[in-house]
Structure 1
Amino acid sequence: MTAERSPGQEAGPVVRPYTMTRGRTRHAGAHLDLMAVVVAVRAPHRELQPEHLSILDACRTPIPVIELAARTALSVGVLRVLLGDLRDSHLITVRPPAPPSATPRERLLRDLLAGLRTL
């Protein structure tokens, strides 16, 4: 006889993300782009949740939001709320991603690659 699994077991933990964000689904501040770069600017001045501390530890060096989500194993939605908290506390800075006009042109990159291959 096999044990039946309840339908909710495969959904994984649902309550924990809700408690991490205190029930919020988005932060009151500006929306954070997934390619925005986050960097910790100072140590926390008060006791924080373990997730906040994990984020601060992971962004000692500049890191994009999407990579930060992967490194901390937090969902993007939860991460955005927690990053908003840290930004409001002035513990991190968030730089928007570079505009497409600031990225090198494909032709320039091909020329550079060709030059490197000749070395």
Structure 2
Amino acid sequence: MKGTIETRILSPNTKYAAYLVFKLKSSGVTGFKDRHVELNVSVNRIASSGARRVSLDYEDEPRHVRERGDGWMEVEMGEFLNEYGDDGTVDCILKEIQGYLKRGLIIEGIELRPKDIGS
């Protein structure tokens, strides 16, 4: 899965974090327990932070997967500095890295939020 946004839509000279917002169905979920996916954020096709390998199963990754107040879960995909202003694109990518059948993932979207420079 890949999401792309033009940097001109974002505030210039601002550090952002990208979050995958998702749920796992309450029944019939397979292929996520102890299985990782790769999350990556790039600006103009240059990785802005290293690819992250995480399990989307909350029990596997309670430090990385966070329950939100709206009933969805989120995991940080990566962060980037929007220094390109009007002339760039940001790609947020979710990749399967293990060839196991996966079923039951519901994706709400990718959320970009400004992040404090110090964090």
Q: TM-score, normalised to structure 1's length?
A: 0.29
Higher helix share: 1
Query: Which entry has the higher C-alpha Rg, 1 or 2?
Result: 1
Higher strand share: 2
